Structure 1
Amino acid sequence: MIYTLPFIAALVGWFTNYIAVKMLFHPKEPVNILGVYKLQGIFPKNQQKVAENIGRMVAEELLSSEDLREKLNNPENILSIKELVEAKIDYYLNVTFPKNYPITAAIVGDKRKIKLKEAVMTEVHESVPSMIDSYMANIEEKFNVEHIIQEKVNNLSPERLEDLIMKLLNKEFKFIEYIGAVIGFIIGWVQVLLVVL
């Protein structure tokens, strides 16, 4: 009979951790216990704090405005912007301008169009980084990533929040449950050895 102790301890260890994981999410609404203590799952109870922490983490660590600015200001993106602007200028000077203003286009001629394009492209070359900085400042002012994430998480139903967290951490929660069984089993054997010796 004493040798069943490790298996009982393993079951108790697993069940204890299983309940602990479930209590992260349940009960969803506060439940009064003896009129003294309110029991509620950790995530539903602290959803606003969770939302604030996730929002802050995303804004500071995952999607900072500095990272976005750096990505936009990398040479490949700047070159792409310049090529796009150059293509638009070429189209305007060679198609739109002659079509809308045929007499003026004939007077201006190809040499002046080339000089005009070169002047505009020089200005574009010099101003793209500052334009990106201005654009980013405008985005930062209008779109507060931290606030947007906080609002999204805070507006999730407790069921949806549980579903998302379980999708993210299901393996880890299962590991916690199983490690409870393993530790319980080991403690059960230690108890058997203490009794036998």
Structure 2
Amino acid sequence: MGEILDDFARHWPLYVSIPIVAALIGYTTKLVAIRMMFQPLEFVGIKPFLGWQGIVPRRAARMAGIAVDTMTQQLIKPAEIMARLDPERIAKELEVPLHAAVEEIVRDVAGHYQAGLWESLPIRVQDLVIHRVQAESPKMIAAVMEAIKLDVDNVFDLKDMVVTSLVKDKALLNRIFQEAGKKEFQFIARSGIVFGFVIGVIQMVTWVLFKFPLIMPLFGLFTGWFTDWLALKMIFVPRQPKRYFGLFVWQGLFLKRRAEVSEAYGSLIAKEIITPHNVLEAVLRGPLSDRVLGLIQRQIDAELGKQANIAKPLVVFAVGSRRYQDMKLSISRSIMDKLPETMRYIEDYAEDAMDIRNTLVNKMKALEPEEFEGLLRPAFQQDEWILIATGAVLGFCVGEAQVLLLEHFAS
């Protein structure tokens, strides 16, 4: 024992450095693990195996799908948000921009299908035709919006909209997980210092007693592995507050911060993804937009039908039934092309009416712990073993370097 104490007295700066280095191993491996989750956005290296891409960006489609499943199944329904829009109010808001759009559509379509007839009409008659269409257009838009509301699931694919946005913008997908788990990631990094230091003290005592070369790399490996594993566990376990050893109460950090996470997550989703602009754009130009076009065509038929005794026979006679159908389709497509531009005039109203942020926040706070955990857990579950293994390998390498330094300076 006297020799051991004498050795410690002579080399104590080296031995004291052991837990300090272990704390650095714990901290560094956590920073590396967190960075590997999100960076780089695209694969760097030689495909398929020699290189790396952040776990979240690499699994973008699946990550986005999981996040959207939680979002659409438990938090927000397309029918619910569209039901809050008043078609009459939308028609009124669009009246001015629609007038200009309708005039351009009428002139283009009439000029294309019956150029000679249209050009031969007096300007006053052309204006009269345009004014009549303009007068009817808000009613038509209101009717189309009402039809969309009644059949929203067949004209609006929320999941496709969100997944497409997140896969296209991997940085935004990263931000969702980073915003939701901001403090959890900070905890992971800082916990590495504490856990690493505690293990380092045991490592120091073991080295002083035995001086077995494999002790340092093995402890380094254990420090990197165990601190990564424990930190990840402490974020999600337990789901409910639980007392340990009769001394302290612990609840998974992410679940404990439910209210705070809900506010941040809801704000980000409402600001960046499920915005009125994106929703309206998806309805009008998304994968189901052909069905919206069908609604518009049926509404055009209905409007023409009101004048069936006079207007429709004359038009069909003038252009032919086949060209009449083509003209109707052309009008519908022209309206579809103009709608996204004119719809921006209602975005402020739609944002207030849909109230997406508050809807998300309130429903998130009401989720069961298992469902709430699903907002962030996928980011860790995918290839979690790689993160822990990386920490272990880094710890082993640093531990081996420690052995060389200790043997060099202690000799």
* Band of TM-score, shorter chain: 0.5 to 0.7
Aligned with 1:60: secondary structure? helix
User: Displacement of 1:153 after TM fit?
Assistant: 2.4
Hey, what does 1:111 align to over in structure 2?
314
Hey, what does 2:359 align to over in structure 1?
148
Output the amino acid matched with 2:397. I
Whole-angstrom distance in 1 between the partners of 2:316 and 2:341? 26
Q: 1:190 to 1:157 in 2, by over 3 A?
A: same
User: Displacement of 1:86 after TM fit?
Assistant: 4.2
Matches within 5 A, 1:65-104: 65-69=276-280, 84-90=295-301, 93=304
Provide Cα deviations, 1:141-182, integer angstroms capped at 9, x if missing partner. 332221222233222222223344322432364343223212
Aligned with 1:147: secondary structure? helix
Which of 224, 232, 243 in structure 2 is aligned with 1:13? 224
Q: 1:177 to 1:89 in 2, by over 3 A?
A: same
Whole-angstrom distance in 1 between the partners of 2:393 and 2:360? 38
Whole-angstrom distance in 1 between the partners of 2:403 and 2:389? 21
Whole-angstrom distance in 2 between the partners of 1:154 and 1:61? 20
Whole-angstrom distance in 1 between the partners of 2:245 and 2:317? 86
Output the amino acid matched with 1:187. V
- State whether residues 51 and 153 of structure 1, in contact with CA within 8 Å, keep that contact through their aligned partners in structure 2: yes
Output the amino acid matched with 1:3. L
User: Displacement of 1:20 after TM fit?
Assistant: 0.2
Q: Does 1:184 align with 2:386?
A: no
Matches within 5 A, 1:132-143: 132-133=343-344, 136=347, 139-143=350-354
- State whether residues 236 and 252 of structure 2, in contact with CA within 8 Å, keep that contact through their aligned partners in structure 1: yes
User: Displacement of 1:193 after TM fit?
Assistant: 0.8
- State whether residues 17 and 177 of structure 1, in contact with CA within 8 Å, keep that contact through their aligned partners in structure 2: yes
5+ residue gaps, structure 2: 1-211, 319-323
Q: Does 1:22 align with 2:233?
A: yes
Output the amino acid matched with 1:52. E
Hey, what does 2:275 align to over in structure 1?
64
5+ residue gaps, structure 1: 99-104
Percent identity of the aligned residues? 25
User: Displacement of 1:41 after TM fit?
Assistant: 1.5
Aligned with 2:236: secondary structure? coil
Which segment drifts farther, 80-89 or 57-66? 80-89
Query: Which of the pair has the greater relative contact order for Cα pairs under 8 Å at 6+ separation?
Result: 1
Report the TM-score when normalising by structure 2.
0.36
Provide Cα deviations, 1:104-132, integer angstroms capped at 9, x if missing partner. x3x777238999x99xx7xx95x956874
Report the TM-score when normalising by structure 1.
0.67
Hey, what does 2:108 align to over in structure 1?
none
- State whether residues 6 and 185 of structure 1, in contact with CA within 8 Å, keep that contact through their aligned partners in structure 2: yes
Whole-angstrom distance in 2 between the partners of 1:141 and 1:61? 16
